[in-house]
Each structure stands twice: as C-alpha cells, then as structure tokens.
Structure 1
Amino acid sequence: MIQAVRLRKHYGQTKAVDDLSFVVRPGRVTGFLGPNGAGKSTTMRMILGLDTPTGGDVTIDGKYYSELKQPLRKVGALLDAKWVHPNRSARAHLKWMAVSNKIPVSRVNEVLEIVGLTEVAHKKAGGFSLGMSQRLGIAGALLGDPEVLLFDEPVNGLDPEGILWIRQFMHRLADEGRTVFVSSHLLSEMAQTAQDLIVIGKGKLISQTTTEQFIADATQDHVRVRSPHALKLREILVAHATVTEDAVDGALVVHGIPAQQIGEIAAENQIVLHELSPQRGSLEEAFMQLTKESVEYHAH
C-alpha cells in the first residue's frame, strides 16, 4: 500500500504538489491521472525518494523508501525508459541491478523472458527502440519480484500487441495481491486498465474513486437514435427528454429516458428506426469535465 498524507512539493513560489493525500491499495490497478503539469511525476519521484517533500509524508507499507534495505525486493518502478547506459546490454543492465539488491542473477533471465527480450539480451540498450526500452524498464521493475509497482507512461512506444500485453500483465499482478500504480495520458487505455483512479490538477486532489464511479459522476448516459423520420421522432421525444443532434451524422442524441422507452414510443407512432444504441459516458469525457479548471497549458 502507498499512502500520501498532506504531501507538498514547492519549487520557489511554484506549488508542484499541494496538500495531496491519497491511498493506493493492493489487489487493484490504480490509475494516476492529471493534465500536464499536474504534479504526477513529482509525486512518483517523492514516493521513490528521488525528490524530498517540502511537507507531508508518503510511505510504502508504512515506511519511507529510504528505509528499505533492499528496495527492489519491495518496490519496482519504471519512470524513464531511456535512463539505461546506452553501451550496456539489456542483460548487463539488469545484472548490476540484481547484484546491488542481492537478487539471484538467475532472475535476470526470468524477467527478460517475461517481457520478451531474451533474443536481444546481449544487444546494447542504446540501440533499442522506445518500445524495447519500455520492456527493459518493466523487466527492471519486476526484477525483485516486488509487492509494489509504479509505472509512468508504460505503454509509450509499444505496438498494439505490447499494449494488450502490459494491460493484461498489470491485471495479473494486481490479482496476485500486489499494489499497482500507473500514470498515463492515454485515457482510452486507462479506462480498460485501471480499476481505481486518483486524479489531480495543479498539485491538488480532484478525485479518488473507482473508474466506473468517476465516469458516472461526471458524465450522463444517452441514447443515439437514427431514423428516416428523425424530425417527426424528435418532435415526439422532446416531450419526454432532452434531444440534441449529433453534428457528425445527424443522429438524435437523447438524454433522460432509456432506449427501451424510445423504442416503445417509436413503435406506437409507427416510426422506423435504423439505430437505437445506449451510450455510456467515457473516461475522456469525465476527465475533461472534471479537470477543465486545472489545465495549465491551453492550445489555441
């Protein structure tokens, strides 16, 4: 378990992290979301003892990272896939990490196999693509078979097969009772990966809840309806619901009544339907809605 209590990090007058409290529980994949500049990377660095908090605390199972004698056996992390010395081979890189934490060198071959890098184990890491570097970073995080895992943008550079693999792999890690904390800007992927969410903006907590509840709290379900008699159907539906029009294809977007009731109304009025599809709000919609006041960099 990771616990932050009133965590703060200031750089002069800039408050990168501002009175932030949250809990990351074992047995779940917890997504860490926020706009650019929200303080996600700074928070992760403080968890790992790479940055010193200005105030507050962040602990791993009740201990500071600096108190862990063999930290890789407790915590595995991937924050920067390209931090590896370019002239070291993948195997040499993992070997020195293993030796530094008294991890059996045999574990190096195991994690290389897990991430699919066995065939390139003796190649220099400087020649790796971003996707291969991500896999090497994940291998390093897994090296000590840790109970707690942190990943910052782990799917950057991965192909679709690799993205599916890391998603399923994170779920397996959580199912084993591990604490899995992952930051990403790929909201469509987070919607399929994270069971819980911690969302921050401008260094402050915006929400901590399940992914499902986060979406439900910030969006409204609706129904898409297409019909060759859309105008007539719309005139009838406005007495029961809020009806707008999809700007892309002209479909009716109905809020306030379920698809079954819309179908019954159409049938009663002998209106042919070409589409009647319930639509749930997306994580992207919910994120944009709840973080719009916390976006620091706006495009024009």
Structure 2
Amino acid sequence: MIELAGLTKRYGGKTAVDDLTFSVRPGIVTGFLGPNGAGKSTTMRMMLGLDHPTSGEVLIDGERYDRLRDPLLAIGALLEAKAVHPGRTAYNHLLCLAQSNGIARERIDVVLDLVGLGAVARKRPKGFSLGMGQRLGIASALLGDPRILMFDEPVNGLDPEGIHWIRNLMKRLAADGRTVFVSSHLMSEMALTAEHLVVIGQGRLLADTSMADFIRENSRSFVRVRGPEPERLRAVLERTGGGVTVTETAEGALEVEGTEAARIGELVAGQGLVLHELSPQQASLEEAFMRLTHGSVEYEAHNGGEGPGAPDPPGAPPAAGGWGAQWDSRRGKGE
C-alpha cells in the first residue's frame, strides 16, 4: 500500500503539490489523473524519494522510501524508460539493478522473457525503438518481484499488441494482490484498466473514488429514445412525472433523464408505440474528466471564437503529457 498524508511541495512561491492525502490500496489498479502541470510527476517523484516534500510524508508499506533496505523488492517503478546507460546491454542494465538489490541473476532472464525482450537481451538500448525501451523499463520495475508497482505512461510507444499486453499485465498484478498505481493521459486505456481513480488539479485532490462513481458523478446520463411517432412518444414520457425530463434533439430523437431504459420500454409498450431506438447513454471517462478538471487546467489552448478561458468541448483530445525521471534503485536518486 502507498499512503500519502498532507503531502505538500513548494518551489519558491509556487505550490506544486498541495496537502495531498490518499491511499493506493492493493488488489486493484488505481489510475492517477490530472491535467498538465497538475503535480502528478512531482507526486510520483516524492513517492520514490527523488524529491523531498516541503511537508507531509509518503509511506511505502508503512516505511519511507529512503528507509527501504532493498527498494526494488518493495516497489518497482517506470517513470522514464529512456533513463538507461547507453553503453550497457539490456541484460547488463538489469544486472546492475539486480546486484544493487540482492536479486538473483536468474530473475533477469525471467523478466526479459516476460516483456518480450529475450531475443535482444545482449543488445544496447540506444538502438531500441520507443516501444522496446518501454518494455525494458517495465522489466526493470518487475525485476524485484515487488508488491507495489508504479507506472507513468506505460503504453507510450507500444503497438496494439503491446498495449493489450501491458493492460492485461497490470490487471494480473492487481489480481495477485499487488498495489498497482498508473498515470496516463490516454483516457480510453485508463477506462479499460483502472478500477479506482485519484484525480488532482493544480496540486490539490479533486477525486478519490471508483471508476464507475467518478463517471456517474461528473457526467450527464440519459436514455436516447427514437420512434416514428415522436410527438405521441414525447407526450407519453412527459406524463411519467417523478422528475423525468424529456429533451428533443436536432435529429428528432428524445433524451430522457430521470428514469431507466427498461421503465421507458414498459411505458411505451403499454401505449402500443413502436421504437426504433432505446439506448442508455453515459459520458466517457474523458468527458467526465474534462468536466471535473476544466477549472484546473494550467496550459490551455483556445479555439477561435470561444474566447479566453473557455474549456475545450467534451471529446476533445487531451494534451500529451510530460514524463517524470527514472530512479536509481541503489542510490534513490534521479539519473
């Protein structure tokens, strides 16, 4: 488990992380979200002892990171996949990490095969593609078979097969009872991987909740209804009462809020009306995220005509994110 209590980091007059308190529990994949400049990388660096908090603390299974005797056996992290010595082979990169943490050599071949790099173990990473570099970084995180794993943008540079693989790997690690904490700007991937979300904006905690609750609480849900007799259909639905609201779209469909699709189907069937569409609609994770965080965006592009401060419309792609720095398992310092 990872526990943050009042974690704060200031750089001069700027507060990068502001009194963060939350826990990352074992057994589930926890997603870490926030706009660019929200303080995610600084938070993850403080978790690994790369930055020291101004106040507050982080505990890794009840201990501060700098008090862990063999860090890789407790927590593995991927923060910057390219932070490897260019003159070492993939095998020797892992060997250095293994020797500094008392890990048997045999474990190196295991993780290289696990991430699909067994055939290039004796090659230097400077010739690796971005996706291969990601796989080596993931191998480094898995080397000590730790109970806690942290990944920052783990699917960056991976092809579809690699994305599917890392998604299932994180789920398997969580199912095995491990603590899995992952930061990503790819909302579609996060929606398929994470069960719980921690969301921050401008260094402050905005949400600490399940994926389902986050989407429900930060989005509009309705049932889309369409049929050949829209006026009769609307009249039937508006007589329902009980807080049900009906809105007509430009395409002639009806958006019904305040009741479930099954109830709508029963009401319409009772009136002998034909339906061409009856579909529950819920916002995506991306739309819910943008709705919650639009007031916390530090770097925002403006579309022509919208004026300063107008948030991008729902569905607009989020900006690409930055990367934290990788850590050296023996010294606990950035490379």
TM-score, normalised by the number of residues in structure 2: 0.84
Partner of 2:31: 31
How big is the shift at 1:295? 1.4
SS in 2 for 1:49: coil
1:72-106 per-position Cα deviation (integer Å, ceiling 9, x unaligned): 11110000111122332211211111111121111
Secondary structure at the counterpart of residue 57 of structure 2 = strand
The offset of 1:202, in angstroms, is 0.6
Count residues in correspondence. Answer: 299
Task: Give the stretch that moved more between structures: 204-213 or 268-277.
Answer: 268-277
Mapping 1:1-300, distance limit 5 Å: 1-240=1-240, 241-245=244-248, 251-300=253-302
Deviation per CA, 1:248-295: give whole Å up to 9, x if none: x65432211211232233334443222111223432232122222211
SS at match of 1:32: strand
Task: Flag the 1:140–1:230 CA change in 2: closer, same or farther, 3 A.
Answer: same
Give unmatched runs, 5+ long, in structure 2.
303-335
3-state SS of 1:131 partner: helix
In structure 1, stretches of 5+ residues that fail to align are none
**Tell me, what secondary structure is at the counterpart of 1:58?**
strand
Task: Calculate the aligned-residue CA RMSD, in Å.
Answer: 1.8
The percent of aligned pairs where both chains have the same amino acid is 62
The separation in 1 between residues aligned to 2:252 and 2:299, in whole angstroms, is 33
What is the alpha-carbon distance in structure 2 between the residues aligned to residue 239 and residue 129 of structure 1? Answer: 61
1:278, 1:66 → 2: CA distance?
A: 50
In the aligned structure 2, how far is the partner of 1:168 from the partner of 1:245?
Answer: 41
Per the TM alignment, residue 171 of structure 1 is displaced from its structure 2 partner at its CA by 1.3
The separation in 2 between residues aligned to 1:246 and 1:122, in whole angstroms, is: 61
**Structure 2: distance between partners of 1:19 and 1:256:** 37
Aligned to 1:225, the other structure's residue is in SS state strand
AA partner of residue 146 (structure 2): P
| Residue 239 of structure 1, CA deviation | 4.1
In structure 1, what is the Cα distance between the partners aligned to 2:270 and 2:195? 42
Instruction: Name the aligned partner's letter for residue 3 of structure 2.
Output: Q
Q: Which moved more, 1:229-238 or 1:82-91?
A: 229-238
CA–CA distance in 2 between the matches of 1:132 and 1:252?
Answer: 49
Give deviations 1:32-69, integer Å, cap 9, x for gaps: 11111111110000000001111111110121111111
Amino acid at match of 1:291: T
Deviations 1:232-259 (A, max 9, x none): 4234434443233556x65432211211
Query: TM-score under structure 1 normalisation?
Result: 0.93
Residue 137 (structure 1) shift: 0.5
* 1:105 partner letter: R
Q: What is the DSSP-based 3-state SS (H/G/I as helix, E as strand, rest coil) of the residue aligned with 2:295?
A: coil
Give the superposition deviation at 1:114: 0.6
